[in-house]
Structure 1
């Protein structure tokens, strides 16, 4: 089990005494491919306290995206439970799960997923419209201003840079004031400057608003903005660091490469 480093200025000590915003208990996810059963998550148990920022890292194929999808109610575990606040997601019907995602969960993806025909303002308002809720224009513009786009409200995505589009996507995720914000490689398509801006905004939603945030990333610099980093290998939790620097996280990642499959080892020349 890896050790715990002292906190850095960008991260806070993990306040594990806070109530759980999100809890995974013995979550396993398997699927069939090529006639074989593949285990993407293997008996994963994790707790995400309210108002904390957690990064999830691991080698390719370690189960990071599957973990996010199960935790966010986008995919159902094969076994185990996922609880958001006091609501067990695995017990909900598809309709109730869809409503819960709209009202209590926010998403930011690497690909932005903005509608090209809508302005920044209209893209941000979209979750409220889909939920049949009133769209307060002042609220929409306030959220855009908070991500530094108060002067871009009428711009469509093709008139925005990648970093600006991702900030619109973040504003869209925050408009419903979600209980938990999920970010899947949110800086993966951005240059370093734009990536730093998005990470600072994510950090700010935790520090200023107490928003619980879970981010999947391959980048140690991005992960260093989080309060803790959870590592996955072959679908299992393989320890965590709290308050770690990018260098510490990068060094730990070098120890996590999964062992090659037996048949792959046997196929190597002597």
Structure 2
């Protein structure tokens, strides 16, 4: 049985105070098994991005606990949390966020350099090899396609061999064919390397690459689908959209 890579227990996240307070997550309990690929879906405003940010240690819950493996994140100091995110968590966004003046290999090495560590050529080469871009190591972002840029961004997130790779709409800026290529690559990382992946998406086709889809509605868990098909995910999202709040 897979252990949990990430576990959220009764997590509440409230923004603001008093009459203007908005609760984005309502006592949410959810676990992501190590070595699995999970998609997170739900209507706009359902709490998907807040869930991702709390799970990744980018935001602190108002109450409840978040565990990365056996490490409780919510009690860590800001310095310890920063080190944990740097060493054990990878994050990929819809925007590639590559530095235009740096080559692919320099962009991949950047997190280690910012941490005061000298990246080895072998580690950078390995990260690029994992995303199939060793032949583009010396190219700058302007010389790469959108899909290649996102692969560099994924390699940059993988350079520290993180426990969990989080993606916030990582294929949202890509065309459908390129999106499928990136998703197949992520699927292969889970299958072949045991990489734990948690991805927020609005696209049923993207979600169908995951082992499981969890659905959020109004900051609460609203069910899950195992071994999802794009058609089943789309039908579930349609039902959720038709259900009155």
The normalised TM-score by structure 1 is 0.88
Could you tell me which of 47, 52, 55 is aligned with 1:71? 55
Counterpart-to-counterpart distance in 1, 2:75 and 2:28: 18
Counterpart-to-counterpart distance in 1, 2:39 and 2:12: 20
Task: Tell me what 1:121 maps to.
Answer: 105
Counterpart-to-counterpart distance in 2, 1:251 and 1:160: 36
Asked if residue 184 in structure 1 is aligned to residue 173 in structure 2, the reply is: no
- Equivalent positions of 1:86-125 (< 5 A) are 86-125=70-109
Partners of 1:234 and 1:258 within 8 A in 2: no
**Number of equivalenced pairs:** 245
Counterpart-to-counterpart distance in 2, 1:48 and 1:130: 29
Could you tell me which of 181, 198, 205 is aligned with 2:189? 205
Task: Tell me what 1:249 maps to.
Answer: 233
RMSD: 1.5
Note the C-alpha offset of 1:200: 1.0
Asked if residue 81 in structure 1 is aligned to residue 47 in structure 2, the reply is: no
Could you tell me which of 11, 25, 44 is aligned with 1:27? 11
Map Cα deviations across residues 107-145 of structure 1 (whole Å, 9 max, x no partner): 110001111121100000111112222311122122213
Asked if residue 141 in structure 1 is aligned to residue 125 in structure 2, the reply is: yes
The normalised TM-score by structure 2 is 0.96
SS of match in other structure, 1:256 = helix
Between Structure 1 and Structure 2, the one with more helix by share is 2
Unmatched segments (≥5 aa) in structure 2: none
SS of match in other structure, 2:216 = strand
Task: Tell me what 2:134 maps to.
Answer: 150
Over alpha carbons, which structure has the higher Rg? 1
Task: Tell me what 1:168 maps to.
Answer: 152
Counterpart-to-counterpart distance in 1, 2:83 and 2:228: 36
Map Cα deviations across residues 131-165 of structure 1 (whole Å, 9 max, x no partner): 22231112212221331211111111111111111
Partners of 1:114 and 1:165 within 8 A in 2: yes
Evaluate the alpha carbon distance shift between residue 129 and residue 37 of structure 1 in structure 2; reply closer, same or farther with a 3 A threshold.
Answer: same
Unmatched segments (≥5 aa) in structure 1: 1-16, 262-270
